[in-house]
Amino acid sequence: MQLTSLSAARQIALLRAGEASSVELTQAYLDQIASHDGKVGAFLRIDPERAIAAARKIDERRTAGESLGCLAGVPVAVKDILAERGERTTCASRMLEEFRAPYDSTVVARLKAADAVLLGRTNMDEFAMGGATENSAFQPTRNPWDLSRSPGGSSGGAAAAVAAGMAPLSIGTDTGGSIRQPAGMCGVVGMKPTYGRVSRYGLIAFASSLDQVGPLARSVEDVALLYEAIAGPDSRDSTCLPNEVLPVGAKLHQPLEGLRVGYAKEHFAEGLDSEVASAVQQALAQYESLGAKLVEVSLPHSRYAVATYYVIAPCEASSNLARYDGIHYGYRADQTKLVAELAAKKKSLEAAGDRHAAENLDTPLVRLYCKSRSEALGPEVKRRIMLGTYALSSGYYEAYYLKALKVRRLLRQDFDQVFDQVDVLAGPVTSSPALKIGSMKDDPLAMYLVDLFTVSANLTGIPALSLPCGRTTAGLPIGLQLQAPPLEEERLLRAARMYEQATDWQTEAPPL
């Protein structure tokens, strides 16, 4: 029996029954990482000694009859954007390469309380800005199904780790599709909960009104397990909802009777890959065969979703990333060199008789800000900061940011009307399967359009999930996106489980 081929739910059952130990399970995943991650690049850091020590302690506590958490002994990978006390949290950026968090994020604290074994930190696009996990300052991540292709982003490392059998569970974040898009491209399950369902305390912010932490796993059941462990109120996050999260596992395997599945005509327009369209249509037919009623709906303002997102998200990023100035923490340019450069330039200007220019040179402090940010931030992060700063500047705020907020409200009204007609909305996750690595490097617009079907869930705050629904002729995974009304994670997960139980896409593994 290969432990890494089992679901997390099955692993938990074996651990509780004493048929496997946490040390044995953790070592099995460390062996998988040693075998495969040199090719995939899903992890930025792992600490085998720490992981084995944590697993051994859980085994000892189990043997002693102590009460254990709901994930006791199961390894979990964490996207390198969530703070953990004393550990490096880099956001895949040179800016935070040596930053060690002074506290635990709520999600990490809850994983520890659930007695999960923290396996390592997964790669991502720098500050979660990107859709290919190529914008990492340290390494690209490759898709386990085809190493020449991207795993999606920004949680590409988290999705690739699960797909490659290097972790049973992983934590990602989703600002515009960053859990669902890589889940779809890597053939795993990923869920973005309702905004505020999971605490953002200790999450390094990209766009505060859009960011949400969520689970990735090989099955819907495992996603539900991880979601229950991390969700719930948190007084340290003012945006976290006060609603208690009820267990979803008990009803997960019960099909939803009279389920109304909507599909938006706008999601099947020109530009959708034919194989993706066919797989999603077959998934809709599968729901119909299970007794669901299919309902065509319309999201008339969806054509503006990407444009709206790429005003709001960069504006919030501009504000959030202003704190990285090279002074308080993070990367700092060489001050001695800066002072010498300024002195030499001033001397040169004075010698040329240009006293005015010499007197108006940037101060060493201003130059330090500029130099530190210029050297430590990558091109995509700089691009989004500049976009956001421009849109927030005097004379443009009303034309861009304020208008985007109004369109955001119209998008929410569209979804409210749709959910008066249907229980869940089904459609594609992305317009195409995984793309070749480097294909979007010089075309940021193409990268932004990858988020076409996913950004609306973030703009409206609703829960959404991706699960496998097919393969292309080249063997690449295709994802089905399900969306539900706010706080209806149970409905979303049960609807996903209905489809999963009737198919076997989730049982297939990449040919590493």
Interacting residues of 350 by C-beta distance below 8 A, sequence separation 6+: 358
Q: DSSP per residue over 350-403, as a string?
A: HHTT-HHHHHTSPPHHHHHHHHHHHHHS-HHHHHHHHHHHHHHSTTTTIIIIIH
Tokens found for residue 123: 């790669």
Compute CA distances 134 → 255, 351, 440, whole Å.
39, 47, 9
Answer left, alpha or beta for residue 187, where phi above 0 means left and psi between -120 and 50 means alpha: left
Cα-based torsion angle of the residue sequence 341, 344, 345, 349 in order, rounded to the nearest 10 degrees:
170
Tally the residues of the chain: 512
Cα-based torsion angle of the residue sequence 364, 370, 374, 375 in order, rounded to the nearest 10 degrees:
20
Active-site hit among 22, 93, 150, 154: 154
For this structure, is 136 an active site residue?
Answer: no
Q: How large is the angle between the packed helices 335-351 and 364-376, nearest 10 degrees?
A: 120
Tokens found for residue 201: 């305390």
Active-site hit among 21, 22, 79, 150: 79
For this structure, is 318 an active site residue?
Answer: no
Separation between Cα atoms, residue 388 and residue 400, nearest integer Å: 10
Contact 408, 308 (CB under 8 A): yes
Closest CA relative to residue 317, chosen from 254, 388, 260: 388
Side chain identity at residue 255, one-letter code: P
For this structure, is 57 an active site residue?
Answer: no
Tokens 């009303």 map to which residue? 398
Q: Are strands 75-79 and 169-174 parallel, antiparallel or unpaired?
A: parallel
Separation between Cα atoms, residue 44 and residue 418, nearest integer Å: 41
Active-site hit among 170, 178, 302, 431: 178
Tell me, what DSSP letter sits at residue 421?
Answer: T
Tokens 């009204």 map to which residue? 413
Separation between Cα atoms, residue 318 and residue 306, nearest integer Å: 18
Active site amino acids: 79, 154, 178
